[in-house]
Amino acid sequence: MLRRMDGATSGKLLMIVLASAALAAVAALVIARRHRVAMKRLMGLSAPAASSVPAVAPPARPVPARPVTLAENRRAARRVAVLLLGLSALLSLSSSALFLGVAMAGEGMLTPGRLLTLALIDLWPVIPALGLLWRWSRSRVLGALALWLLGALALIAWRSIEPQPLASTLAYLAFEIGAPMLPIGALCLRGATRASAPWLMPLFLMLVAASGGSTDLLAWIVESRPGWLTSLPESVGAPQVLASFVLAPWLLAWWPAKWLGRALAAAHARRWLSELMVLFTAVWGIVLLLSALGAWHDLGPASAAMLLPLAGIPIVTLIAGTDLVERTLDAGDIFDFLDGRLAERFVRHPAELAPRIAAFELEPEAEGRHRVNEVYCHDSTWQQALDALVAASDVVLMDLRSFKAHNSGCRHELGVLARAPRLARAVVLTDGDTAPAPAREDAAQAPPDRFVWIDASRIDVSKRRELLAALFMADTAAHARHAAA
């Protein structure tokens, strides 16, 4: 059952995958930091001269005939978890069948018992997948994987005809789980990288593969021993020659990689891809890619068939609850920033607010989660945008952690929320560093029970439940008020 990972080609491909994951993670950190700096700079700018076109009031947001309750949201969240588990089981079963039936065809390993055993052992990627859905910490994911490893040890001991050495079994499971978890952890399980690293991974695969092909060309040239190569290191230097063969191909590969990035952003904009789908595909894609490399010794290029189960991910339609509090970079943010077009996303004049709000994505993704709609504003347009958004909202979630009396922008927002005529509830997050007196003073004009203050010094499962309950109570109250009107 142990998958073989040897041979120069498979090792080279493995290095390409690991190097691409590492570069994507580093690039995600750099982009997040640079994006934050660019956003602060653009937000602090004043808009160009005011447009002569008058501002248009945003269209009224239609109210659904029946509100979604907190209980329904919880049931929907359970449904998406069950469906992710079912899809993972299908991926594990199909990849195990391909391995036993194709890579191990000469050994007659494909039997129902072996297939079920291997599929259960290889179902472990469902843990980081569900951890991403439920926002588990890395320690919790690792703890769940440790329990899974103990269960896999017991299963292997039970299913083995002959006793297996514990050391070899542990080594097998450590490779099966540990090797994929290195890139999965770097790409998907860090808050700073999970938003953008999975989108960048395909681009770096192209770039690193181009470097790998170029170094193969250099190795072939060295074996040929041409006369011009002998004198080249003396005049340029061997490190410089090697570096040029590693990095120069990026000048050519960058253009198809950039085209791929734009294609991914366009697919995301057209709702062909969602954040959850990309993260789930990244987890299983890494696992199946390493499985394909493990089968290279037996199948050669035909081992790419091990990736076929990934084709089933976009075919499956998932039904889930709304993701009300997710806030991350999306594909459009990433690739607009890389293209130097981030400023085009900002509202320059009040007249641009109505069409911008009208273009909000209010329909759920294929798996049921809702996208985060953003309005980027300059220092001279954010107050008009705030008024327009609050006028079209039933519920507002405001983060006042570390708020102080001198934060004039937050104090203005509290006043707007307090005076808004149709707002049902404003849920405010605070912590030990929040100055309560000025915040409550600015909210004093609000109707009774409009503001709900939640101490969010530590966000855990119970605190998330409290937060969702407060938001859904407000949503239900808003719909009841509209129904009565």
- For 360-389, write each residue's pLDDT tens digit: 877 777 666 777 788 888 888 888 888 988
Q: 282 and 358, same structural domain?
A: no
Short-list 275, 372, 271, 280, CA closest to 83 = 280
Instruction: Please choose, from the candidates 431, 71, 16, the residue with its C-alpha nearest in 3D space to the C-alpha of residue 183.
Output: 16
Domain that holds residue 36: 8-48+57-312
Do residues 391 and 305 both lie within one domain? Answer: no
Residue of 403 and 228 predicted with greater confidence: 403
Residue 326 has pLDDT above 50, yes or no: no
| 320 lies in some domain | no
Residue 414 has pLDDT above 90, yes or no: yes
What mean pLDDT is reported for the chain?
A: 78
pLDDT of residue 416: 93
Per-residue confidence at 403, pLDDT binned at 50, 70, 90? Answer: very high
Which residues lie across from 428 on neighbouring strands? 398, 453
Statement to judge: residues 304 and 217 lie in one domain = yes
| CA-closest candidate to residue 397, choices 454, 441, 359 | 454
Is 192 contained in some domain?
yes
Nearest CA to 84 out of 116, 122, 117, 123 is that of: 123
Which amino acid appears at position 342 of this protein? L
Look at residue 213 and tell me if it is in a domain. yes
218 within 8 A of 242, measured Cβ to Cβ: yes
Q: Is 322 inside any structural domain?
A: no
Helix axes 179-188, 275-294, angle to 10 degrees: 160
DSSP string, 123-164: TTTHHHHHHHHHT--HHHHHHHHHHHHHHHHHHHHHH-SSPP
Nearest alpha carbon to residue 326 among 77, 61, 26: 77
How far apart, in Å, are the Cα atoms of 33 and each of 39, 337, 341, 379? 10, 12, 17, 21
CA quadruple 320, 325, 328, 333: dihedral, nearest 10: 90
Strands 395-399 and 376-377 turn out to be unpaired
Cα–Cα distances in Å, from 477 out to 63, 69, 92, 414, 470? 12, 11, 44, 20, 11
The answer to whether residues 272 and 355 belong to one domain is no
386 and 271 share a domain?
no
Check: CB of residue 201 under 8 Å from CB of residue 187: yes
d(CA 113, CA 1): 12
403: CATH: 3.40.50
Is 3 a member of any domain? Answer: no
CA atoms 234, 236, 239, 243: torsion sign: negative
Same structural domain for residues 352 and 215?
Answer: no
Pair 245, 289 in one domain? yes
Q: Within this chain, do residues 16 and 159 fall inside the same structural domain, yes or no?
A: yes
Residues 207-219, mean pLDDT to the nearest whole number: 84
Contacts of 200 (CB under 8 A, 6+ apart): 24, 27, 28, 31, 261, 334
Bridge partners of 426, per DSSP, are 396, 451
Token duo for residue 324: 């009300």
Crossing angle of the two packed helices 8-43 and 197-224, in degrees rounded to 10: 130
Q: Mean pLDDT over residues 448-467, rounded?
A: 84
Is residue 116 included in any domain, yes or no?
yes
Q: What is the pLDDT of residues 66-76, one digit of tens each?
A: 556 777 777 87
Based on the domain organization, do 243 and 106 belong to the same domain?
Answer: yes
Residue 327: pLDDT above 60?
no
CA 223/CA 456 separation, integer angstroms: 64
Q: State mean pLDDT over 435-462.
A: 88
Residue 2 lies in a domain: no
Our count of domains for the chain comes to 2
Does the pTM of the predicted model rise above 0.75?
no
Structure tokens at 150: 């103990």
* 110, pLDDT greater than 70: yes
* 37 occurs within a structural domain: yes
Interval 6-28 mean pLDDT: 79
pLDDT at position 207 over 80? yes
Which pLDDT does position 320 carry in this prediction? 27
The answer to whether 89 touches 123, Cβ cutoff 8 Å, is yes
Q: What are phi and psi of 51, to 5 degrees?
A: -75, 150
Q: Do 353 and 299 sit in the same domain of this protein?
A: no
